[in-house]
Chains A and B, each alone.
Chain A
């Protein structure tokens, strides 16, 4: 075994680090209050500030916006370990690193899209010009995703869509919906689903904001009333959408804000060392030391799963258990970290960033709220445990 990075990997890590620190706006990680694992404080989705746009353009020029893509489609042609190094550093600096189009849409089009579709979409995505939002969930379709009811019927060269999607993160600032619709109501639920790309500006679409418990507009409800979409926007074959959608989960395995946990923990650690109560640093209190040590240990555990998953992917192994465990342990860590931070900070923890007394810009206050979403989004903890048990350990499904 060798837990050290190779020289090439070290050099790449330095290159990534230099790029990020050189290109991010000053004090970006201080200003960005994203809580690791949470979905409600992803500021790059909340408002596409000119700063984020500029950074995204620079990333695209460098070829790192689509870092996981093969070279022929404008990717960087890197190993999974190198991609993991990239994601680790980016998340450590809370840098915006891609979204639905670069992480899910593009890779799926590469595998299943027609040549025309590849020509039409891939270059635009790689240049950072086209952003998607994810239209999977519906009001009555959460963990049981295959039960979705938003309907698309064929009409000449078009599909006509009727229905409602929910939790469309950043739908209000994205350009297109990457969505799943029901195209066959007679087949088994998962055999009647298709993937389709829908222009946000199409007549019949209305987007309504959902304000999350952090007080931020990150989610949306999106209504489809006889929305007409050209059939050429169907991804791959009709009624194969479920299959594509499941495979696409594999693309996201290493997109975990692993470095964000380390960064936020370091900030809390520093707070504990620098803050004195009655002349004694908080970090001298045994209960606080024990609490912080416990978090440090769990971050280290999460990292081992992260590197392990990357290492396995590089060897052509499928990290079924490791990837789900990575999701599980990091999201649970999101809540534990928020709780520990509250304990360390006492009365100062619940102060919002608006207060002049706030510490760490109020990130613990919003993080304590946002961490609720970590265990729910992108497959609940319960769904992850099902995957580990059935796919990983081979336990019977029925």
Chain B
């Protein structure tokens, strides 16, 4: 057993923290949150230059051949700082779909662009049912004259408003088993018939409604085989779920760090509030939640990284981390008192992220249902 990060991972972690402190201060985070695009092309390019976009791509696709574990380490730091932008949708959701199931031609075409910061991708799975099950995929792709024509509405799609390509999960056949008859298409975001509307959300995380109306896609833009899409989606969702946990662990650590620092400095009744047992116990509860989330998330990440069966571990990590991040930010708010309730303070940025993270890819009830199934119940 070795529960430590490798030397390279420690370096990646430290350099990511330094880079983000310098290049992505909270002032920029707020500015981007409030902007329509939700990202800075300058920061995006700098992140690409750091090698982050291509971290897990093999070298022949412009990457550095890192592991999923390396990506987990990076995402924890991104969550710690909060980095508005399409990194998650581009790299974790869309690019990993292409890397896993795309043709050689698709990979050669797109991945080097992503690695170089020259392409932004989005991943369109969920629909108005807001569920992550196969039956909820109602958007249709009909074969017509060697092409596919997509019709339907995708909802809660991250960063589609700035995407160059949208990876769209659609139904190509009506089958008794909803997990069959699903295919994945690479759609140019500016294709005729694609209409994107930005949703105003709690975390200001640039979710979109994307309406596909008679959108023609060439058959060679299918990712994976016809009707073979669902297992690919499941694999990507599993990785994305762990990746989101890693972000949440980082965010929860940041909230804890901020609150502990404040508790040591803030004086009331002639002593630092951190000397009061009530505050100490809040902090103890927070560190319990943060550490537990980290350990369980890294265990799930390790299993995914090793290609081991991970359904149980991933569900456990998400069920726990999603709720833990919420608890941690609430306690941190309690410690900050009134000042934390101001727009100028950073705490609310994390409080918002926590709820968004808890919901995406299935909330804790959803994850516990998976755990129950995996327990053989």
Contact = CB atoms under 8 A, between A and B. Distances in A.
Interface string A382-398: 10111011101111111
B334 to A, nearest CB: 15
Contact of B377 (A283, A384, A395): A283
A166 B271 CA distance: 36
Interface string B247-282: 000000000000010011000000110110101110
A311 B2 CA distance: 7
Interface in A1-34: 1-6, 9
Given A3-B1, A305-B292, A398 B271 contact: yes
A294 to B, nearest CB: 6
B368 to A, nearest CB: 4
Contacts, number: 147
A196 to B, nearest CB: 33
A329 B271 CA distance: 30
A308 B3 contact: yes
Given A308-B295, A395-B279, A1 B377 contact: no
A210 to B, nearest CB: 29
B218 interface: no
Interface stretch (A42-50, A108-116, A320-328): A320-328
A1 B3 contact: yes
Interface string A311-322: 100010000011
Interface secondary structure of B, over-half rule: helix
Given A296-B316, A395-B280, A329 B377 contact: no
A-side interface mostly:
helix
A180 interface: no
Contact of B368 (A290, A321, A392, A395): A290
B296 interface: yes
A269 B372 CA distance: 10
B371 A296 contact: yes
Given A1-B69, A389-B284, A292 B291 contact: no
Interface string B350-377: 0000000000000001011111100111
Interface string B152-186: 00000000000000000000000000000000000
A290 B365 contact: yes
A304 interface: yes
Interface of B: 1-6, 69, 260, 263-264, 271-272, 274-275, 277, 279-281, 283-285, 287-288, 291-292, 295-296, 298-299, 302-303, 313, 316, 319-320, 365, 367-372, 375-377
5 contacts: A284-B377, A301-B292, A301-B316, A388-B288, A389-B280
Identify the 4 closest CB pairs spanning chains A and B, nearest first: A389-B280, A304-B295, A289-B372, A293-B368
